[in-house]
Structure 1
Amino acid sequence: MERFKTIWEPNSPDSLTDIVTRYCLRNPSTYSQLFEFDSKTNEERLLPDKPLTKHIAFKSVEELLMGKPKKDSFAPRVYRRLHPGIHLPAVICEKFFSIAQEEGIDVNDAFINVFADTESTPLRSVSINGSSITNNGLDMLLKHRLRDLEIQDCLDLNTRSFGTMNEYSNNLVNLTVGRLTDLLPHVVATFCCQFDDECDCEGHPLDYNFKAYRLSSLCINDIGSYRGEHFIEFLLKSLVNLTHLDLSGLFAFHHMQHAEFLKQVPKLVSLVLYNVIGIEAGLKDICQLKKLKHLDISRQMEYLQRSADFKNPYHVLKEISENLPELESLDISGTNLDDCDVCDGKIDSGCDIRGLESRVGNPLRFLGLYNTRMGACSRTNIPALEITGDANERQIIAAGRHYIDRQEMIYNVLNDLYHIFRFGTCNNLKEALDIIVLGMQNHITDSVIQISGSASLYYVLTSPINTLINVKMKRKIIVTLLNAMFNHKKDSVMMRNGCITLCQFDIPKDVLFDYERLVRILLYIVSHRSNSPENMEESNFLERASIFLLNSLACQVDGQQKLLVGSLGAMERMLDIIRHRVDKEICDHVMEIAWSTLWNVTDETPINCKRFLDNGGMKLFLQCKDVFPDRQELLRNMMGLLGNVAEVPSLRPQLMTREFVAEFSMLLDSNTDGIEVSYNAAGVLAHMASDGPSAWTIEDPSRVEVLSKMVVAIQRWNLHSSRNINYRSFEPILRLVNVHHTPQCQHWAMWALANLTFVDNKYCALVEQEGGLSLLDQLLNGNFGSTLPYSSVLELAATVRDNVTRWKNGRSSSPIRNSHEDGGDDNDAID
């Protein structure tokens, strides 16, 4: 039985080989050096290497350093070479290629040059899809005398490499030349050359001969242009061991009387003529292939006009059925071969497809009936064990498995699946997910397939099967979605589908492995919104969804991710969005999430705090506060952000303005959002005051006045107040404990620690982990400077110590809760 590809695999750890290979691909300097070739001096020089991030590793060599290499140049302008002394076995070398394709790394000439030495880096099987490889790179691969080569969607190749392939083809067993890959010779000599010495045809000499004598499988798909009447005849001339031949979409057969080439390959057990014209004329030659087990004469239904229909469907099916004794599998999808009188009970043949009566007692293992003219898949008596069609879910799933590599047919299958998800119940979700993901992976350049597939993914992820999707499966789905979004980023429907489908995952946990790519595509969306009236609704949704995802990505991640988000321009983009809305006096969900994103991205990340100030963030804060004074959620987010800025000593002087300090002094009295606004205002002012009297460079409001108001506010707060906040570290608060010259700063810090250790026991652990207990002991034991902490500070310090002690002893400190583990900054949702 045919084995179909699947994306499903156990949730076991990756093999060590895979882990190391992925690491090396993301850090190519671990195994290779970067060189530049100077065509003027004919010399090369070593370039300084830098760790390159995932999905940029090899592409960026060309794009960032030297530009795209010219075709057919003697060497890539910028390329990599294996470190001297390294020797890798074939299984490892091939792993580099397969994982690079999975990771979306361009297998270009710079990449392939690492494997130029056939002794140190041997290769046997290579599959390349959608690469910018040129003839130079392919020549390097071919010199390995490959056993298996599959290459498709490689637009930068031309026929020049065919001579190299021929020269090194003695080990070749399986060859696939697929879509958009112009590798085979354009015109092979016609018979006129035999009789006319002055023939000026552009064909190759008549002794042209493809020397791949061991070749058993040849697949030539959709090569597109006409290549001479006898192209296939000459190509197959010496392929005496060929058993599998696939000529899908080959336009050479304008007249199938030239199917005499089949006499050259009598060992064929599989013949695929999908989307080939004029098969009826070559029927006699097809029926001479007595060893044939699989015959595919299917078509894309919309592909050919009625003039290309089979003239006598019954005769064709009867001849095939009765003259191919080994036949087990027949595909007539998309044809009119079922366009004959149905045995509607008047003829007792036990077969509802005329021409196949001889198979009633010996049914075919497989019969393709997807989108046939008369819808034969819906009939009752069909002499086949497995059927592709659209009559039911089982047939559609079978069609998806069999036609996964056929761009036109898989689009129709995905549409059929989408209608099942949308309007019915899918009973084979695992198989359906296989088809969706593999279909998207195999046809990444087709936007229609990506849109249809991503729409279906949304329904799969919201179905009960979601609980069966393990970590590895989630990663495959996410990579597939991101590849689709990057390849079709100007298509708003694809972007919409991608965003709403990504929202079904646990962000950021599920996407940390591909964090950078997701951030990049989301920033692209918010940077390229359309303002045309007809696209306004779509643009507004995309902006809202992408900002929501960015905010989720920035929440509960470590400093490296926050640094990355900032370095990719998130701060500037969020501020632009806010500025646009302030100018139009619009305060909506997007505005609030944009501030929340800034709050999350600046958390314990000084460089992002600086970016905020450098890009006019303080002015925007004051404008928002003035234009939207009653927006509680907006104010909370802005205050949280400015609290992060105030924690950075080098940035605090920029906050020391009369307008800003007066605003925050006023907010100490606020009851908005419980205690949160007042609490955050006090926190900002405590950090500013911690720099000492000399750093307070304004006269109004005075430092004494502000500190006095701060104490009044703190004493007003309920120590057991529930909090809508999430701290990852107490380091900024603990720094204030040591500010002995200003006890009011200690007061705010002690209140914060006391409150947090009361309401959530995870903070007791954090106090202990970050050395807070020793600071408390010093404070309580009188190990301080000349300025004494007042009693409220000491009482709060004792409370914190007691809370932590009870936690350590395993006793619950009522009312300790764990209800805010996820914090309050990631609760925004898409409207």
Structure 2
Amino acid sequence: MYGMRTMAHFDVPFNYKQYVGPESLANLCFKTICNNLDIISIKNKRGYRTLIKGLVIPSEICDKLIEFAQKSDSNEIDDRFYFIFRDIFATRLRNVKISHSSITDDTVAIITNHQVMHLAFNDCSNLTKFSIECINNTSKNLQSLSLRGCPKIHPVDLTCYIDLSVNYLRRGYVFKTPNLRHLVLEHVKVAPEQYPILLSGLSELTHLDLSNASNIGNFEFADSIPNLISLCLYNVTIMDDPHAFVANVTQLKKLRHLDLSHSNHKHGYYENPNQVLAELVSGLPDLVSLDIGGTNLAGRGVAERPFDGSNKNYGLCDIQGLACRVNNPLQFLGLYGTRDGACRRHDIPAKVIAGDANDEQILVSARVCMDNKQDLLQKVLNDLYHVFRYESCERMDQALCIVLEAMEKHLNERHIQISGSATLFYIVKTKEKSGLVSQMKRRIIGALLAGMSTHKDEETMMRNGCLALCQFRIPQDVMWNYEALVKVLLHSAKHSAAEGFVQRIGIYLLNSLACQVEGEKKRLLGKLGCVGTMLELVQYRVEHNSHDDVLEVAWSTMWNMTDETPINCQRFLDERGMNLFLNCAERYPLKEELLRNMMGLLGNVAEVDYLRPHLMQQQYVTVFTSLLGYDRDGIEVSYNATGILAHMASDGVEAWTVEVPTRDDVLERMAEAIERWDLSAHRNINYRSFLPLLRLLDVYHTPQCQHWAVWAFANLTNVYPAKYCSLVEAEGGIEKLNKLLADDRPYNRIKSLALSVILNCSPDNPRGEQQEALQSSSEYSPDD
């Protein structure tokens, strides 16, 4: 669980295939259960969960449930969840790792009652020293224990009382775990002379990690742990006598892995570094893995004669302290952040090197500090980012896997998420899209969304995430997590800096999502507050008399999300959207794109019969009518204005309650506008269904409504026959058009347009006959 990493073969840790296969059925089942805990448990009145009576779950499943529960969307993965495992006969735990949790000592008592073999708590800040006693009480099987980021759990002074009866110094030990092999204790603050008590009874220990310990003296307690094969002293400063420290460490003759690295090279300074390193390496004959990153132990790289005159290989090695290993190179050597650029030297007696000289060394560095050196990992990811931005990376697949693993493991680390998302952007941008299989796309997008959701108020993270997401197909590649993306983007739109880049790109992505989805997904947009958010953006710009692309895209987003979605149209009206429509129409009368988007949105509202009465107000109808003659952008504004009025007029004379403009005047101006449009005009519009238009073909009491509908059919089937002819036929349009031709009420221009649509949709009719039909009876007269 906490074993030493020896990296003789760099490609071994980077098995790309493990990331691209389909997700296993077992994993899908675990995800489903953990997102729906009622499947296996019930809640009591206090919210604590108990296993459903009769269920018995083996350890392999229980361990996985804890792993996947921590990745779920549930907000109750705390003491209430772990209460499920109170019954040790119905459940069984063996390997438990809990990270970033608010659990208390009560949960530790439940878990340790299972007599687990491997136990790890990372960033569980509520745990106290009582958890140690829970562990001690049931430690018979415990082989590995890790306590990271749990500041209240570590004793500061072993002479202090836990309660009225227990004193570490008096009883002579802290941990009563006789079979423990692996121990990780981060940020230990006990005095150097108290380490023998801290490690008392742990003679079987083989792996010890004391990262970030405040003071270990000269490691005088080496004789307490004689069987050690791996020792990690990351970020531990040797403040006393380094030669005494070396003498004590080299008592551990079985040691194979030693980590003396630092994240800050100011704290990793040794007097006489070449001599210290030489004594250390020569005194540990079984050493195969050494990390001295962030220290000066690699020396200056200047050839020096050996201090004892015994080593003849000093001229063959660019790290003088390692001259004794020229003929027996280390399997791994960590040189990341060493002084004087040690990782860039040529003659280094090591098979695999961590450093920053090239992309290979950077990726090795990332792998080495992946699990327990978060501060260093962030620096490594920054280096990797610069490789992709300014250079070329020959190991792109490995880099992609490393970045994803870092983001997934360290979700709450803001800087890791920022660096990782920036690197993902360049990887996805550079990599051929065909080279990303669907499973890898999902993993990349999932990592981005998780990071954005966790750090949604961090502008840099949101910018990086949005830019990376823009490299994918929207919405096709994100449909599996559509709701999560919408929530993140809506938060960004509401809370990012007004008129800033993050808000702008977020709005563009929302518009893309709204444009290319249907039905339930459009309704979800409204349910999550998209209409209200867009109107807030519009309101801000109206109040500041500001016109920009966000204003236009906000209206475009509402246009798209109201398409064939009456509930969203209702939300627009309920949120006082019409007031903002009037304000924008008055302030920006010459902004063609803005007017087109607003009128397109109101066209969707007008298609909903029970909402049309809300539009029947003089101030609105006056604006719609005034835009019938608008021709600055071609036909789109005029077309949409005519469509709105056609739907309103289709409800009959009685429904027209506005005195000015009169219904007859509006109808006449509608027909005149239609005849000004170019029937061959290319359109910036997309119809998924013609049902609202087909409804107007049945409005014989007001032929101008039919006129607008058949003109739309004639234009679309003439310019885009492959796309729209089949839709007209599929939705029964040809039958309605034939019925219209046989009726005496529509005037001739309507019938000529109807005939042209029928001919456009007929595969046997020559184009010449279609054009002749279009040109006949081109003059409009309601008396014809």
- Same fold by TM-score greater than 0.5: yes
Question: C-alpha deviations, 1:372-417, integer Å up to 9, x for none?
Answer: 1232222221111111122233222221221223122212212222
The equivalent residue for 1:246 is 209
Query: Paired residue for 1:692?
Result: 652
d(CA) in 2 for partners of 1:390, 1:653: 69
Q: Which of 95, 102, 109 matches 1:125? A: 95
Once residues 61 and 701 of structure 2 are traced to their aligned partners in structure 1, the CA distance between those partners, rounded to angstroms, is 63
What is the CA-CA distance between 1:699 and the residue it aligns to?
A: 2.1
Aligned runs of 1:19-168 on 2, under 5 Å? 19-37=28-46, 78-103=47-72, 105=74, 107-168=77-138
**Deviations for 1:717-772, whole angstroms, at most 9, x for unmatched residues?**
33332221122333323333343443333333333334333433233443455454
* CA–CA separation in structure 2 for the residues paired with 1:148 and 1:227: 25
User: Alignment partner of 2:564: what SS?
Assistant: coil
The residue type paired with residue 363 of structure 2 is I
Q: String of CA shifts for 1:543-562, please: whole Å, max 9, x gaps.
A: 22222222222221123232
Q: Does 1:411 align with 2:378?
A: yes
Map 1:484-633 onto structure 2 (within 5 A): 484-530=451-497, 540-633=500-593
Q: CA deviation at 1:150?
A: 2.7
Q: Which moved more, 1:156-165 or 1:644-653?
A: 156-165
Q: TM-score, normalised by structure 1?
A: 0.82
Of residues 698, 711, 717, the one that matches 1:751 is: 711
Structure 2 Cα separation of the partners of residues 180 and 90 of structure 1: 26
Distance of 2:88 and 2:718 partners within structure 1: 67
**Residue 719 of structure 1 is aligned with which of 679, 700, 719?**
679
Residue 281 of structure 1 and its aligned partner are, at CA, apart by: 3.4
Determine if the alignment matches structure 1 residue 326 to structure 2 residue 293. Answer: no
Is the alpha carbon distance of 1:465 and 1:147 closer, same or farther for their aligned partners in structure 2, counting shifts above 3 Å? farther
Partner SS, residue 411 of structure 1 = helix
The 1-side partners of 2:468 and 2:623 are apart by 42
**One-letter amino acid of the counterpart of residue 205, structure 2:** L
For residues 800-815 of structure 1, what are the structure 2 equivalents within 5 Å? 800-804=757-761, 806=763
Measured in 2, the distance between the counterparts of 1:239 and 1:740 equals: 94
Whether the 8 Å contact between 2:494 and 2:533 is mirrored in structure 1 is yes
Q: Distance in 2 between the 1:6 and 1:564 partners?
A: 39
CA distance in 2, matches of 1:113, 1:31: 12
- Asked if the contact 1:246/1:273 (under 8 Å) is kept, the reply is yes
For residue 96 of structure 1, give the secondary structure of its aligned residue in structure 2. helix
Match of residue 169, structure 1, among 139, 142, 161: 139
Q: Give 1:369's match in structure 2, choosing from 329, 335, 355.
A: 335
Q: Structure 1 counterpart of 2:424, which letter? A: L
2:446 counterpart (466, 470, 479)? 479
Sequence identity, in percent?
Answer: 45
1:17 correspondence with 2:44: no
1:678 matched to 2:645:
no
CA displacement 1:268-292 (0-9 Å, x = unmatched): 3222121223365333332232322
Native 8 Å contact 2:126 2:150 kept in 1: no
| Partner AA of 2:349 in structure 1 | P
Contact 1:758 1:814 in 2 (8 A): no
2:182 equivalent in structure 1: 217
> Partner letter of residue 373 of structure 1?
R
Tell me what 2:254 maps to.
Answer: 291
In structure 2, what is the Cα distance between the partners aligned to 1:82 and 1:797?
Answer: 68
Alpha-carbon distance in 2 for matches of 1:239, 1:799: 92
Q: Does 1:399 align with 2:368?
A: no
- Give the structure 1 partner of residue 309 of structure 2: none
Which of 377, 384, 387 is matched with 2:350 structurally?
Answer: 384
In structure 2, do the counterparts of structure 1 residues 741 and 94 end up closer, same or farther at CA, with 3 Å as the change threshold? farther
- Please say if residues 297 and 321 of structure 2, whose CA atoms lie closer than 8 Å, have aligned partners that are also in contact: no
Local SS of the residue matching 1:651: helix
For 1:734 and 1:111, locate their aligned partners in 2 and report how far apart those are by CA, in whole Å.
55
Per the alignment, residue 222 of structure 2 pairs with 259
* Secondary structure, aligned partner of 1:285: helix
Match in the other structure for 2:317: 351
What whole-Å deviation, never above 9, does each CA across 1:75-116 have from its counterpart, x for those lacking one? Answer: xxx233343344444444444333344456553223333444
Contact between 1:152 and 1:181, CA under 8 Å: does it hold in 2? no
Per the alignment, in what secondary structure is the counterpart of residue 157 of structure 1? coil
Name the CA distance, whole Å, in 2 between partners of 1:476 and 1:104. Answer: 16
Amino acid in the other structure paired with 2:625: S
**Could you tell me how far 1:294 is from its partner in structure 2?**
1.4
CA contact 1:665–1:706 (8 Å) conserved in 2? yes
- 1:766 pairs with 714, 720, 727, which one? 727
2:395 is aligned with 1:428? yes
SS at match of 2:485: helix
Q: Aligned AA for 2:678? A: N
TM-score (structure 2 length as normaliser) = 0.87
Aligned partners of 2:323, 2:668: CA distance in 1, in Å? Answer: 99
Question: Structure 1 pair 650/423, CA: closer, same or farther in 2 (3 Å)?
Answer: same
Q: Partner amino acid for 1:416?
A: D
Distance 1:96 1:257 in 2: 42
Q: Any stretches of 5+ residues in structure 1 without a counterpart?
A: 38-77, 194-198, 532-538, 816-831
SS in 2 for 1:355: helix
Q: Is the 8 A contact 1:301 1:372 kept in 2?
A: no
What is the deviation of 1:646?
A: 0.9
User: Cα RMSD over matched residues?
Assistant: 3.3
Going from structure 1 to structure 2, the CA distance change for 1:774 and 1:202 (only over 3 Å counts) comes to: farther
AA aligned opposite 1:244: H
**8 A contact 1:317–1:355 mirrored in 2:** yes
Residues 26 and 730 from structure 1, CA distance in 2 versus in 1: closer, same or farther, beyond 3 angstroms?
Answer: farther
Amino acid at match of 1:458: F
Letter in 2 for 1:401: R
* 2:533 partner letter: R
| Cα pair distance change 1:13/1:200, threshold 3 Å | closer
Question: 2:692, 2:57 → 1: CA distance?
Answer: 50
Corresponding residue for residue 640 of structure 1: 600
1:275-286 paired onto structure 2 within 5 Å: 275-278=235-238, 280-286=243-249
Letter in 2 for 1:518: L
Query: Displacement of 1:478 after TM fit?
Result: 2.6
Match of 2:512, SS state, is: helix
Equivalent position SS for 2:500: helix
**Partner residue, 2:425:** 458
The one-letter amino acid paired with 2:356 is D
Shift in CA distance, 526/10, structure 1 to aligned 2, threshold 3 Å: closer
Greater alpha carbon shift after TM alignment, 102-111 vs 517-526:
102-111
Q: 1:800: how far off?
A: 4.2
Give how far 1:10 is off.
5.3
| Conservation of the 8 A alpha-carbon contact between 1:604 and 1:644 | yes
Distance 2:19 2:409 in 1: 22
Contact 1:148/1:174, CA 8 A, preserved across alignment: yes
Q: Report how far residue 211 of structure 1 moved.
A: 4.1
